[in-house]
Amino acid sequence: MSIRMLRTLIAVAENGTFSAAADAVFVTHAAVSQQMRALEEDWQVSIFDRSTRSPTLTPIGRALVAKAREVVQAYDDIVPSVLGDDGLRGDFSLGSVPTSLTGLVPFATALLKARWPGLHVRLFPGLSIPLIHQVERNALDGALISRPEILPRDLVWTPVSHEELVLICSDRVEGDDPTRILREYPFIRFTREAVVGSLIENWLQSRDIQVDDTMELGGLEAIYSMVQAGLGVSIVPEPCVSVPSLHALRRLPLSSSGELQRQLGLVQRKDSTKGQVMREISKAMTHAVAARTFDPSGPNWLGEIADSPESD
């Protein structure tokens, strides 16, 4: 038995097939099969039920996977525990909803890198639900997402910020009544494949607002550009960290109480070995949200915040 074999076993459990596990751990299908046979021979147990087309874990196999995760986590923690940096070096894969990639994420990542230069953060954009699945499969170490109605039990949620959803329109649109504007002007919809898109659709239906859909987009920059061009109006999250260079558009609240919001937060597996990194990322995002504006053209913008007492 080796740590490599245990990682392969975990990959089979997370990806469902030997072929998918082979891709995940960068070996051949035959190598995965050989490693699993070797484990069964070493332990003298049946890890897989091979009577089905795709081998499935037996009850003993599932129990062994849980123990294997504990062993691999302990192994991964050996060097960080000796060096005292709690793993704040090396690679970290972070997913993010596209709406946060222009302000919150680059600001927080810059703060993180300023404090921990040995940590290399790789960013992967995506919608919330697919990102959740990738974190579950250990394809990502963590992700910044819009909180869905149901979160898998094996994930940990850390809130980062709330973002109010607002109506945006060009300065050629007259009036301040969002309901009238939504009914009279073409509507550029935020994709319903995203959690935010579902929130918007539920809000429109709850108020019996019929909109004239003209297009459905998944990126804020694209929506801003279409609205700026006078091609319609839209409902989008008001970024918790704004970027001065973004298009100047009229923003109208949808209610006086700001009731329509999405909650941004970080998710990770409960058995993640990167807990300290996630805590530092959460801290960096908290500082970025407090600053409210991401303006790298400003004088010493990063140093002033990174050196502030709150960053300790």
Going through 128-195 in order, the beta strands assigned E by DSSP cover: 142-146, 155-169, 186-190
273 compared with 130, residue with greater pLDDT: 130
Confidence check: pLDDT of 309 > 50: no
Among 218-227, 244-253, 280-289, 301-310, top mean pLDDT goes to 280-289
Q: Which of the four pLDDT bands, split at 50, 70 and 90, describes residue 310?
A: very low
Is the Cβ–Cβ distance between 25 and 7 less than 8 Å? yes
Going from N- to C-terminal start, the domains of the chain cover: 3-76, 85-161+263-311, 163-261
Fold match, 3-76 / 163-261 = no
Q: 163-261 — its CATH code?
A: 3.40.190.10
| 217: nearest Cα among 203, 200, 197 | 197
Confidence check: pLDDT of 181 > 80: yes
Confidence check: pLDDT of 144 > 50: yes
Instruction: Say how far apart CA 241 and CA 105 lie, in whole Å.
Output: 9
Average pLDDT, the chain: 86
pLDDT of residue 87: 58
pLDDT of residue 300: 55
Q: Which of the four pLDDT bands, split at 50, 70 and 90, describes residue 85?
A: low
Confidence check: pLDDT of 267 > 90: yes
pLDDT of residue 311: 44
Q: What is the pLDDT of residues 95-111, one digit of tens each?
A: 999 989 888 999 999 99
User: HEC string of 14-45?
Assistant: HHCCHHHHHHHHCCCHHHHHHHHHHHHHHHCC
User: What is the sign, positive or negative, of the torsion defined by CA atoms of 34, 40, 44, 46?
Assistant: negative
Specify the CATH architecture of the domain 3-76.
Answer: Orthogonal Bundle (1.10)
Mean pLDDT confidence for 12-41: 89
Specify the CATH architecture of the domain 85-161+263-311.
Answer: 3-Layer(aba) Sandwich (3.40)
Q: Which of the four pLDDT bands, split at 50, 70 and 90, describes residue 116?
A: confident
Mean pLDDT confidence for 176-182: 94
Q: Which of the four pLDDT bands, split at 50, 70 and 90, describes residue 308?
A: very low
pLDDT of residue 16: 83
Confidence check: pLDDT of 303 > 80: no
Task: Write out the two tokens for 149.
Answer: 């109605």
Confidence check: pLDDT of 117 > 90: no
Q: Which of the four pLDDT bands, split at 50, 70 and 90, describes residue 189?
A: very high
Distances 21 to 5, 93, 110, 116, 175 between C-alpha atoms, Å: 12, 18, 34, 32, 57
